[in-house]
Amino acid sequence: MHEILSRLGLDRDPRVTPPAQTAQDGVVLSLNPATGEPLAGVKLDTADSYEKTIARATGSFKRWRTVPAPKRGEVVRRIGEAYREHLEDLGSLVALEMGKIKAEGIGEVQETIDVADFAVGLSRQLHGITMPSERPMHSMREHWLPLGPIGVITAFNFPNAVWGWNAMLGAVCGDVCVWKPSLITPLTAIATNNIAQRVASEMGHEGVFELVIGTDDEVGERMIADRRLPLISATGSCRMGRHVGAAVAGRLGKCLLELGGNNAVIIEPDADLDLALKSTVFGSVGTCGQRCTSSRRLIIHESIADDFCERLAKAYATVRIGDPLDEGTLVGPIINENSARAFEDAIAAAKQQGGEVIAGGARVDPAKLPERLRKGAYVQPTIVRAPAGNQLAIAQEETFAPILYVFTYKTLDEAIGMHNSVDQGLSSAIFTGSARSAERFLNPSGAGSDCGLAYVNLGTSGAEIGGAFGGEKDTGGGRESGSDAWKVYMRRQTCTVNFGDEFALAQGIRFE
């Protein structure tokens, strides 16, 4: 078994089985997307084991919620420290199992550490407010209480950090986290959860972090229908979110949805074009275009489009594609064959709709890859230029692959209209030298960018944890991570106390 797995204790975990070439019943194979080789098998949860986990989580919640919030913060602080100790290995495991380059894998785990730090501070601040009562000798306040065991469903592309955003905040809020990871990245989930679970147990708090690894039919569906989980936080495609959202709403549960994006960058003629170039390349090719915040559309002023596209295509030609664990690689494989086919289909559709491929456009020829990488799916980061006035129907969708569609505009109003024309509303960016254009993009009336995240002179991907993260429209409306995102993991109670002797009703009602 791979040495990284062994250093993280995965070879001693009862769920993990040695790698086999074919999956057996009740086992999912975790594959290295760079080589196509199996890393290990992972035993799947069943309806029975799911039931036991939820029963345990319900019991653990009753104990955990009574621990004072700053003490819960102390547990999270130690968990953050444990992730610091395992940063290199855990980041490498993310790269090994998901295929992003090692620097990004480490960056992802760093994000969990940052959220842990943020949550520690928060553990002393989960504050409510007071308000004056209209009745004499009465007081009123709002306070925030632990919510329950919460269900966290995560996507393959951020196999560590998305859980971190939810679990670290949920833990200081007094919730127990039941995590259902993607079946594409179960090893990262086991290693990540084991560290948190071990630290919490050593501090006397068993069962705060639970993991269920199972199919959507057997485990996923049970989880979203489960009334014992008052909140389901689900990250993934819009297709998944529509289904999960409806199921959770049907039982009147709370849902936090973090779904697909179709993020655009607007570039004005007076922008710093060197800055715009670097940011656009990172935003569109980074993580092989498999970030929810990847730049998928470039909306550029017609006067600078030709030159900028030429520079962009040259930059694309220098991007080193290869093993994500190799120093110097900038783009690893796409996650699997299905994604590679979706990439090819989208390019075929774009051409058929009138687009011109100006960089990439195909899979990487396996003959040009080292022998050991030939079973991986590698694609060329691609730029498709749309003819003026043609919005390309395919660009209205999120294809989870490194394809950037380029459109031109004449006026900023036109650019913002094009920008907002898609169904998704996650991340957005403008490069401009004009304060007026920047403010119009962030227009407080709402007439600017319609996304949850809006950037000026930086690209769409790479959010900081201090702000609330999430998107509007078909992206689902959820917010995670910083700011006041913690409130979704708690329930609010409005408390009124009569400290006098009079029977007083609100609105002056007399009942005597």
Q: Which residues are catalytic?
A: 258, 292
Residue 460 lies near ligand NAD (rule: CB under 6 A) = no
| Tokens 């290995």 sit on residue | 89
Please state, in angstroms and as integers, the Cα–Cα distance from residue 10 to each residue in 18, 41, 48, 397, following that order.
10, 11, 23, 38
Distance between CA atoms of residues 404 and 299, nearest Å? 10
Residue 283 lies near ligand NAD (rule: CB under 6 A) = no
Distance between CA atoms of residues 113 and 160, nearest Å? 11
| Tokens 């006035």 sit on residue | 389
Stretch that binds ligand NAD, among 84-92, 259-267, 384-392, 433-441 (CB under 6 A): 259-267
Contact in structure between 421 and 449 (CB atoms under 8 Å): no
Q: Could you write out the DSSP letters of every residue in 157-210?
A: SSTTHHHHHHHHHHHHHTPEEEEE--TTSHHHHHHHHHHHHHHHHHTT-TTSEE
CB of 400 to ligand NAD, least distance (A): 5
Residue 187 lies near ligand NAD (rule: CB under 6 A) = no
CB of 377 to ligand NAD, least distance (A): 14
Grouping H, G, I as helix, E, B as strand and the rest as coil, residue 346 is helix
Stretch that binds ligand NAD, among 89-97, 124-132, 231-239, 493-501 (CB under 6 A): 231-239
CB of 339 to ligand NAD, least distance (A): 8
Phi/psi region, residue 223 (left: phi>0; alpha: psi -120 to 50; beta: rest), is alpha
Distance between CA atoms of residues 295 and 308, nearest Å? 16
Q: Considering CB under 6 A, how many residues would be counted as binding ligand NAD?
A: 29
How buried is 143 (Cβ within 10 angstroms: 0-12 exposed, 13-18 middle, 19+ buried)?
middle
Contact in structure between 159 and 185 (CB atoms under 8 Å): yes
CB of 243 to ligand NAD, least distance (A): 5
CB of 216 to ligand NAD, least distance (A): 4
* Interface with ligand NAD (CB under 6 A), residue from 236, 286, 360, 425: 236
Stretch that binds ligand NAD, among 41-49, 56-64, 167-175, 258-266 (CB under 6 A): 258-266
**For ligand NAD, which is the closer residue by CB, 419 or 440?**
419
Residue 243 lies near ligand NAD (rule: CB under 6 A) = yes
Please state, in angstroms and as integers, the Cα–Cα distance from residue 127 to each residue in 15, 63, 103, 130, following that order.
40, 21, 37, 10
Q: Beta 356-359 vs 382-385: how paired, if at all?
A: antiparallel
Contact in structure between 96 and 2 (CB atoms under 8 Å): yes
CB of 163 to ligand NAD, least distance (A): 11
CB of 240 to ligand NAD, least distance (A): 3
- DSSP class of 114: H
**For ligand NAD, which is the closer residue by CB, 130 or 338?**
338
CB of 340 to ligand NAD, least distance (A): 14
Contact in structure between 39 and 6 (CB atoms under 8 Å): no
Contact in structure between 266 and 373 (CB atoms under 8 Å): no
* Interface with ligand NAD (CB under 6 A), residue from 156, 209, 378, 486: 156
Stretch that binds ligand NAD, among 46-54, 150-158, 271-279, 411-419 (CB under 6 A): 150-158
Distance between CA atoms of residues 180 and 214, nearest Å? 7
CA-nearest of 364, 404, 383, 395 to 313 is 383
Residue 155 lies near ligand NAD (rule: CB under 6 A) = yes
Residue 182 lies near ligand NAD (rule: CB under 6 A) = yes
CB of 180 to ligand NAD, least distance (A): 6
Residue 220 lies near ligand NAD (rule: CB under 6 A) = yes
- DSSP class of 15: T
- Name residues contacting ligand NAD, limited to 471-510 (CB under 6 A): 471, 475
* Interface with ligand NAD (CB under 6 A), residue from 17, 237, 396, 421: 237
Stretch that binds ligand NAD, among 14-22, 38-46, 156-164, 404-412 (CB under 6 A): 156-164
Residue 398 lies near ligand NAD (rule: CB under 6 A) = yes
Sketch the per residue contact string, 289 through 328, with ligand NAD: x for CB under 6 A, - otherwise: ---x------------------------------------
**For ligand NAD, which is the closer residue by CB, 241 or 324?**
241
Phi/psi at 274 (5° precision): -65, -45
Contact in structure between 16 and 41 (CB atoms under 8 Å): yes
How buried is 38 (Cβ within 10 angstroms: 0-12 exposed, 13-18 middle, 19+ buried)?
middle
CB of 232 to ligand NAD, least distance (A): 8
**For ligand NAD, which is the closer residue by CB, 150 or 224?**
224
Sketch the per residue contact string, 425 through 444, with ligand NAD: x for CB under 6 A, - otherwise: -x------------------
Stretch that binds ligand NAD, among 45-53, 232-240, 270-278, 430-438 (CB under 6 A): 232-240
- Name residues contacting ligand NAD, limited to 200-219 (CB under 6 A): 216
Contact in structure between 70 and 171 (CB atoms under 8 Å): no
* Interface with ligand NAD (CB under 6 A), residue from 64, 144, 400, 489: 400
Stretch that binds ligand NAD, among 45-53, 101-109, 252-260, 442-450 (CB under 6 A): 252-260
Cα 449–386–379 angle (5° rounding)?
95
Binding region for ligand NAD (CB under 6 A): 153-158, 162, 180, 182, 216, 220-221, 224, 235-237, 240, 243-244, 258-261, 292, 398, 400, 426, 471, 475
